[in-house]
Amino acid sequence: MIFESITANIDFDNYMKAYRYLFLLILLWGIKLPASATVQDSLSYEQQRSHLNKLLQERSERFKAFDTSLAQKTGIFGFFKTQDDMQKSIDILKDVVVTDNNIFLETKKLLDFKDFEREKFQKLANEYDQQITAYMKTINKLQTENEKLRNHIKEEEKSTHSGSIWLYLSLLGNAALLFMYVKQQKLTKK
């Protein structure tokens, strides 16, 4: 009677579907990880995964024990279930539920760990992006300054060349004046 009231409240088909979806979710989540990410996982993450796999194995074993206990009939001539048989089934089912709760908690821990890693890598990527942007701005600023200095050097060279031309012309003019002065002095002495 106790077993019938429990089974009436629990829809085993929906219960099993929910666990199938959970199992598929965990299986697909494990397959989705690329080999390189598995290599990069930290030791604690691997320990969490192995603990979760152990819990899944325990759940599978307990559910098999539950199925076995449902089939056991130790009553008169093995045709009926005794109250002890039903209590064993209920206790095993409780263990399955406790294991399922632990599986949910461990899965949440793994997901939180992955979220933490993703946020950490995103933060590092943002920092590196900011550093690269700052380096690019610095490089652009230095290139602009370098171009200004090159233009300034070209202008100085041009002004130096024009200054040199004026210097040469003035020296040439002075030499011509000196030549004419010397020539005139020679003419006036003669």
Q: What pLDDT digit, counting tens, does each position of 41-72 carry?
A: 567 778 888 888 898 898 888 888 888 887 77
- The tokens for 171 are 């020296």
Residue among 58, 84, 55, 56 nearest 69 (CA): 84
- The tokens for 100 are 């399922």
**pLDDT value at residue 37:** 44
How does the average pLDDT of the chain come out, rounded?
78
**Cα–Cα distance for residue pair 170/91, rounded to 1 Å:** 116
- The tokens for 88 are 């064993």
**Cα–Cα distance for residue pair 184/178, rounded to 1 Å:** 10
Q: What is the largest CA-CA distance in the chain?
A: 165
Residue that has been written with the tokens 């992006």 in this structure = 129
Q: Which one is predicted more confidently, 129 or 188?
A: 129
Q: 66 with 89: CB under 8 angstroms?
A: yes
- The tokens for 70 are 């449902």
